[in-house]
Amino acid sequence: MYELEEKGYLYLLIIIPILAVLFLYVQFWKRKKQKEFGDLDLIKKLSPEKSVFKPALKIIMVLLGLTFLIIALVNPKMGTKVEKVKRQGIDIVFAVDVSKSMLAEDVAPNRLEKSKQLVSQLINQLGSDRIGIVAYSGSAFPVLPMTSDYGVAKMFLQSMNPGMISSQGTSIDQAIDLASTKFFDKKDKTNKLLILISDGEDHSASYQDAVENATKIGIKIITVGVGTEKGGPIPLKRNGILEGYQKDKDDQTVITKRDATILTAIAKGSKGGYIDGNSTKLVLDYVKKVLDNTEKTEFGATQMADLKSQFQWFLGFGFFLLFLDVFLLERRTKWVRKMNLFNEKE
């Protein structure tokens, strides 16, 4: 197992063939000028100590030295140790409302982007907990199954948008049911937490049953309300350009407002809590407090590879070759000359 930390420096390797071509061109130019000056055999007799192969050896050492230095900049990391690490934590599912009302800009930049920021910040303060992500509007959609890979979770989180679910509206009950049946294992004794983020505009009428079923399998629900009570219109944009606002059947601009009533009832019914999502600090502090007071469960052991930087080896070899090149003269070496390895004697 290996990893290249700074892959961008690999582009510097293009210098190597450029220098090699430049060296060959210089050698060709020098030989051409020597022919113009006089007979090559006579010139060779006038400078008997000049080696034919050492200039090539010197440029090879320079190119190798530079190659090693560039690889050192890339900082290759290799696995040198594999150990078993036991994780302790709880199972957390983030259910994010992606209905069109979440595009309202009564909170900056809009309700949906604010929700994503909240989830991302919450993930940052987690330890070894397993997380999953659900998107919902008129129906619920599993975005990411339970995982401990927070990097992947954030990548999927950023891809969430109202277009990913065709049926519009807001059915909180379906989000709770999906998390209860597909994400949390009823037989698993791990503590379960559902963090539901929405503006509270629910078009379903049976959320109480969903909350009751979730409570039976030990799920605690924290609801986060995003948006303002004053509300705002729903912008209609194409390629980031505002084209107008959502209108109702009477051609009146729709004003969507945050409704904390249902969110508060859901939290109370599951012995959880409701938080004002417009304050990031309030949400982070509350969830941290809940996590600190929740008993952690040990997950199955997993193998972790400890990748260590190996740049120092390449750095050392690179400087050694460049240092050696400084002391390597272009004159013939006596003992090599006697062996005549390169047929330098006539």
Q: Which residues contact 331 (CB under 8 A, 6 or more apart)?
A: 49, 50, 51, 54
If asked whether residues 141 and 270 sit together in one domain, one would say yes
If asked whether residues 160 and 133 sit together in one domain, one would say yes
Q: What is the tally of structural domains in the chain?
A: 2
Distance (Å, rounded) from C-alpha 342 to C-alpha 56?
12
Asked, as a colleague might, if the bond just before 235 is cis with ω within 30 of 0, I would say no
Q: Is residue 53 part of a domain?
A: yes
If asked whether residues 288 and 320 sit together in one domain, one would say no
If asked whether residues 106 and 249 sit together in one domain, one would say yes
Please report, in tens digits, the pLDDT of each residue of the chain (346 residues total).
Answer: 667 888 888 899 999 999 999 988 988 887 777 676 666 565 565 555 566 667 788 888 889 999 999 999 988 887 655 556 667 788 999 999 999 999 999 999 999 999 999 999 999 998 888 899 999 988 888 999 888 888 889 999 998 998 888 777 778 889 999 999 888 877 777 889 999 999 988 666 678 889 999 999 889 999 999 999 999 999 988 888 888 888 888 889 989 999 899 999 999 998 899 999 999 999 999 999 999 888 887 765 455 556 677 888 889 988 888 888 776 655 554 544 555 544 545 4
Q: Is residue 345 part of a domain?
A: no
If asked whether residues 290 and 310 sit together in one domain, one would say no
Partners of 308 in beta bridges: 78
Q: Is residue 346 part of a domain?
A: no
Distance (Å, rounded) from C-alpha 195 to C-alpha 272?
10
DSSP secondary structure, 268-294, as one string: HHTT-EEEETT-HHHHHHHHHHHHHTS
If asked whether residues 265 and 281 sit together in one domain, one would say yes
Q: Is residue 196 part of a domain?
A: yes
If asked whether residues 171 and 199 sit together in one domain, one would say yes
Q: Is residue 183 part of a domain?
A: yes
If asked whether residues 231 and 140 sit together in one domain, one would say yes
If asked whether residues 33 and 116 sit together in one domain, one would say no
- Report pLDDT for 341: 46
Strand segments, DSSP code E, in 105-184 are 130-136, 140-147
Residue 40, domain extent? 2-80+306-339
Nearest to 300 by CA among 155, 74, 128, 82: 128
If asked whether residues 47 and 126 sit together in one domain, one would say no
If asked whether residues 92 and 171 sit together in one domain, one would say yes
Place of tokens 């709770």: 176
**pTM of full prediction above 0.85:** no
Q: Is residue 234 part of a domain?
A: yes
Contact (Cβ atoms closer than 8 angstroms) between residue 19 and residue 58? no
Distance (Å, rounded) from C-alpha 184 to C-alpha 331?
77
Distance (Å, rounded) from C-alpha 117 to C-alpha 114?
5
Q: Which residues contact 290 (CB under 8 A, 6 or more apart)?
A: 193, 220, 222, 273
* CA-to-CA separations, 97 to 93, 140, 172, 192, in angstroms, rounded: 13, 9, 8, 20
Rounded (10°) CA dihedral 273, 278, 284, 286: -30
Q: Is residue 66 part of a domain?
A: yes
What the block records as the tokens of 291 is 């996590």
- Report pLDDT for 222: 95
If asked whether residues 141 and 214 sit together in one domain, one would say yes
- Report pLDDT for 30: 77
Q: Is residue 113 part of a domain?
A: yes
CATH number of the domain that residue 179 is part of: 3.40.50.410
Contact (Cβ atoms closer than 8 angstroms) between residue 135 and residue 106? no
- Report pLDDT for 84: 60
Nearest to 72 by CA among 306, 322, 327, 305: 322
